[in-house]
Amino acid sequence: MDEDYIFCEVSFEHSYSRYTYIADSDDYEIGDLVVVPVGKDNEEKIAQIETINYLPAEEAPYPIQKTKHIIRKFDEDTDDFGTPPIIASIDEAIGKVKRITNSVKQGRTAYWIQKTHLFRADEYICSACRATYGELYSICPSCGAYMKKSKYDPSWVDEMEDMLAFLDDDW
What residues between 110 and 129 interact with Zn ion by CB under 5 A?
126, 128-129
> Residue 83 or 106: which CB sits closer to Zn ion?
106
Question: Considering the rule CB under 5 A, would residue 147 count as an interface residue with Zn ion?
Answer: no
Beta carbons within 10 angstroms of residue 34's beta carbon: 19
Report in angstroms how near the CB of residue 137 gets to Zn ion at its nearest: 9
CB closer to Zn ion, 79 vs 159:
159
The CA–CA distances, whole Å, from 142 to 6, 89, 111, 116, 147 equal 44, 15, 13, 21, 12
Answer for which of 34, 47, 140, 147 binds Zn ion (CB under 5 A) is: 140
> Please, what is the minimum distance in Å from the beta carbon of residue 99 to Zn ion?
10
Instruction: Kindly provide the residue ranges of all beta strands, DSSP E only, lying in the chain, ordered along the sequence.
Output: 5-11, 18-23, 33-38, 43-55, 72-73, 109-110, 112-115, 123-126, 132-133, 146-147
**Where on the chain is the footprint of Zn ion (CB under 5 A)?**
126, 128-129, 131, 140, 142-143
